[in-house]
Amino acid sequence: MIKMDNFLEQLQNYQEVCWKNPKLGQAGENLFDLEDIQDASERLERFATYIATVFPETQKTNGIIESELTEIPHMLAAIEKFDQIETNGRLYLKRDSDLPISGSIKARGGIYEVLKLAETIALESGKLKVTDDYAKLAEPEFVELFSQYGIAVGSTGNLGLSIGIMGAKLGFHTTVHMSEDAKQWKKDLLRSKGVTVVEHQGDFSLAVEAGRAEAEKDPMCHFVDDEASRDLFLGYAVAAFRLQKQFTAQKIEVSEENPLFVYLPCGVGGSPGGVAFGLKTLFGDNVHIIFVEPTHSPCMLLGLYTQLHDDISVNDIGIDGKTAADGLAVGRPSRLVGKVIEPLMYAETTFQDDRLYQYLAMLVDSEKIYVEPSAASGFTSLADLNRHLAETEPFMKTGTHIVWATGGNMVPKDEMATYYQKGKDLLAQA
Ligand SMILES: *Cc1c(COP(=O)(O)O)cnc(C)c1O
């Protein structure tokens, strides 16, 4: 049993918290370096002709799966009014909600891991050289090669979509183990692509366990381990390189005078951890990383605060782990990420689910941009940090603020309309 204190009692009571990380800047574990990100980035470039061939929607970016960075001044004005805050900073949205192929940040890590596996198998077979045009991987010879292999993954939804769609396209036998809270349309979509979907009672961890068990029985099956995968992590980290290019193109300066704040929704921690690691590697002290989690599943925060990392789950302090935020209903953090992120994270805030719908609707009304509820969580954090930290840390009110919109464009229209209406109703009551 862990010893409860005031802070843990707040978590236990599902209260929203704003936590400043006392370990920022201390020595941490160096599990990755710049070269690892470069290697991942180059691998994605090798695959670009293949991606453009099999997913024509990526042709306008030449087979590079990347999202736009959009300034959203009207949204900032709406938040200032709604939350009664004031800031001189500028607000941007990183629109992974519109990423091609799977419409969420999982298109980065998930697709990268599958491509890396495919490359390894193809190189070992002698049918591919790294200097080849990878478009040839779309030919039947390779589809047949990959069909001898399996991929298994446990997922709350979006990772399953990325792995499933990419794996099936290459020719792999792909099985996605889903928790019972996963959306029906995601299961239907995957099945329509020829992916085997197995549904499990209970939460995300059980789905992951089932995936692991299946893969262990079969030496030809690769298990994508969302709780500890290096490849997923590096696929996410490449986002930092791409963002740096966008900063140059859009004349956004990252410096001591113009610091960068990045708000990242956190589930198991892989995607925010990878992006954060990449950004810290490139921008050092001038970037401030903020994680955002639901009050019902603040697993990373609990792991960092207690120093127990993946040795503690939210259930251990009586929290139910239930949230409407897709991708964030995770009770236990990654085995890999907590110790990597510990010296890098500036702060974390937690949110109550209802607020997601409010910001989702506000974003539609102010900027005509649709994201899924979990992807609106960064806005709660921007508001909360301004309320709680800006007095002691006035630099919070300057610089460039990026809310990472982690998902959206795969959500069916009627479902999105329901989210929007719920947001409007909540705003009317506020
Ligand atoms: C998975 C997911 C996240 C969080 O990513 P983790 O790697 O699990 O921390 C955030 N938002 C959305 C929409 C997701 O699908």
pLDDT digit string (tens) for 318-350?
999 999 999 999 999 999 999 999 999 999 999
Q: How far apart are CA 333 and CA 293, in angstroms?
A: 11
Q: Is domain 105-228 annotated with CATH 1.10.3720.10?
A: no
Residue range 6-33+56-102+233-429 forms a domain whose CATH class is alpha beta
CA of 314 to the centre of ligand 1 (A): 17
User: How far, in Å, from the CA of 190 to the mean position of ligand 1?
Assistant: 18
Rounded CA-CA distance 399/401 in Å is 7
For residue 274, give the ligand 1 atom closest to its CA. Answer: 7
What whole-number distance in Å separates Cα of residue 72 and Cα of residue 95?
11
Within 8 A by CB and 6+ apart from 367, the residues are 70, 72, 74, 75, 93
- Residue 402's SS3 state is strand
Task: Give the pairing type, strands 18-20 and 69-71.
Answer: unpaired
**Distance from C-alpha of 370 to C-alpha of 376, rounded to nearest angstrom:** 9
* Separation between Cα atoms, residue 163 and residue 108, nearest integer Å: 10
Alpha-carbon distance of 364 to 371, in angstroms, equals 9
Report pLDDT for 44. 98
Give the nearest ligand 1 atom to 271 CA.
7
Residue with CA closest to ligand 1 atom 1:
327
According to the model, what pLDDT value does residue 56 have?
96
Residue 176 in contact with residue 163, Cβ under 8 Å? Answer: yes
Evaluate if pTM is beyond 0.95: yes
Ligand 1 centroid, distance to 240 Cα (angstroms): 17
For residues 58, 62, 68, 69, the Cα torsion angle rounded to the nearest 10 degrees is 160
With a 6 Å cutoff on the Cβ, whether 158 touches ligand 1 is: yes
Residue 166: predicted pLDDT? 97
Pocket test for ligand 1, best of 102, 406, 415 (most atoms within 8 A of CB): 406
Q: Which residue has the tokens 């998930």?
A: 110
Does ligand 1 have an atom closer than 6 angstroms to the CB of 235? no
* 349 CB within 6 A, ligand 1: no
For the chain, residues with pLDDT lower than 70 are 1
Evaluate: CB of 265 within 6 angstroms of ligand 1: yes
The predicted structure's pLDDT at residue 390: 81
For ligand 1, the distance from its centroid to the CA atom of residue 392, given in whole angstroms, is: 30
Closest CA to 263 of 274, 276, 244, 246: 276
Q: Is 272 in the pocket of ligand 1 (CB under 6 A)?
A: yes
Q: Is the CB of 176 under 6 A from ligand 1?
A: no
Beta bridge partners of 293: 350
Distance 257 CA to ligand 1 centre (A): 31
- Our answer on whether the CB atom of 326 is closer than 6 Å to any ligand 1 atom is yes
Of all atoms in ligand 1, which is nearest to the CA of residue 330? 8
- Determine the pLDDT at residue 2: 84
- Asked whether 319 and 298 are in contact (CB, 8 A), the reply is yes
Is the CB of residue 378 below 6 angstroms from any atom belonging to ligand 1?
A: no
Determine the longest span between alpha carbons in the chain, in angstroms. Answer: 64
**Contact of 150 with 172, CB cutoff 8 Å:** yes
Amino acid at 111: I
**Residue 321 in contact with ligand 1 by CB distance below 6 A:** no
CATH 3.40.50.1100 residue spans of the chain: 6-33+56-102+233-429, 105-228
CA–CA separation, 264 and 279 (whole Å): 12
Write the DSSP string, 80-143. HHHHT-----EEEEEEGGG-TTTSBTHHHHHHHHHHHHHHHHHHHHTS--TTS-GGGGGSHHHH
